[in-house]
Structure 1
């Protein structure tokens, strides 16, 4: 195990940190979020393992850091800044999640008849539009979720069809 620690702890920490850095920046700037979100979340969790190995490998120097003020100051500042972000989110009522996804979820719960005017249609014309796009629609009284499931498609498929894509 010590040779593994010596050989791989720091390189894996650096490699996974770089992946986390690039994916985090891409997510921050909303660049190809679908490509980066899952990777960023999972590999950031995996990063815990090599960081733990790196700390274990370098335990004596870490003890030396713990005796000095810079580490304590850095940890307190990091916690304070993260606390500010959490407090801001809590006070603004944001609990997380993409609001567009939540909106699609709410839309899916409604019938074709109810959402048709939002897309410049009557219930019957939206039924025909959805059928033309490959959806199995029995009536305008079906919910969009029921139609997507009956058609073997997902919520984003029907949302795309409604958006004209």
Structure 2
């Protein structure tokens, strides 16, 4: 086990760090977030495995860094920065879309129509065209999803306008 850690931990840390740096930069600049988000999240978690193995193998040498005040200053600055971001940007509920979707999926098509710049019948037609059964424009997306054994969020995505740059 020690040989595997010695031979592979640093190369994997390096490779996964490069992937994390590139995907993190792409996410920061909003370049194709759908392409990079899952990759960044999962491979950053995978990066922890060789990192922990590397620290474990080099524990004695790692602890020597803490004799130097620069390590303590760097760690303190990082913790302060992280805390500052948590205080300034943190909010209960996480992603706003995750809080908005349940509100939208519990609304009837008649209520959603003005928000989506469509008539209730247009929304019903979009859903029928997507393979859903719509009995009434008074139905909620949650009801339509339950009848189709689908997730309400998936049904919502079917009625959202496609394409970017729409001006209403």
TM-score range, shorter chain: 0.7 to 0.9
Q: Distance in 1 between matches of 2:125 and 2:48?
A: 52
For 2:105, the equivalent position in structure 1 comes to 108
* 2:159 equivalent in structure 1: 161
> Structure 2 unaligned runs (5+)?
164-168
Contact 2:123-2:159 at 8 Å conserved across structures: no
Are the aligned partners of 1:13 and 1:47 in contact in 2 as well (CA < 8 Å)?
yes
| CA deviation profile, 1:85-129 (whole Å, cap 9, x unmatched) | 011124xxx235332343233111101122223334443454344
> What does residue 146 of structure 1 align with?
143
Structure 1 portions without partners, runs of 5+: none
Contact 2:128 2:134 in 1 (8 A): yes
Alignment CA distance shift 1:3-1:159 (3 Å): closer
Partner deviation per Cα, 1:27-58 (whole Å, 9 max, x = no partner): 21222222222222222222222111212232
Q: Deviation at 1:157?
A: 4.7
Partners of 1:33 and 1:75 lie apart in 2 by 30
Q: What is the number of equivalent residue pairs in this alignment?
A: 162
Once structures 1 and 2 are overlaid, which stretch shifts more, 32-41 or 5-14?
A: 32-41
Q: Which residue does the alignment assign to 1:31?
A: 31
C-alpha contact (below 8 Å) 1:55/1:62 kept by paired residues = yes
Instruction: Name 1:53's counterpart in structure 2.
Output: 53
Once residues 122 and 49 of structure 1 are traced to their aligned partners in structure 2, the CA distance between those partners, rounded to angstroms, is 52
Q: 1:140 and 1:126 mapped to 2: Cα distance?
A: 8
Kindly tell me: are residues 96 and 47 of structure 1, through their superposed partners in 2, closer, same or farther at Cα, counting changes over 3 Å? Answer: farther
- RMSD (CA atoms): 2.4
Please give the TM-score of this superposition, normalised by the length of structure 2.
0.81
Secondary structure at the counterpart of residue 51 of structure 1: helix
> Which moves more between the two structures, 52-61 or 145-154?
145-154
For the pair 1:64 / 2:64, whether they are aligned, the reply is yes
Distance 1:158 1:58 in 2: 51
1:117-142 Cα offsets, whole Å, 9 max, x none, are 33344434543443244331011121
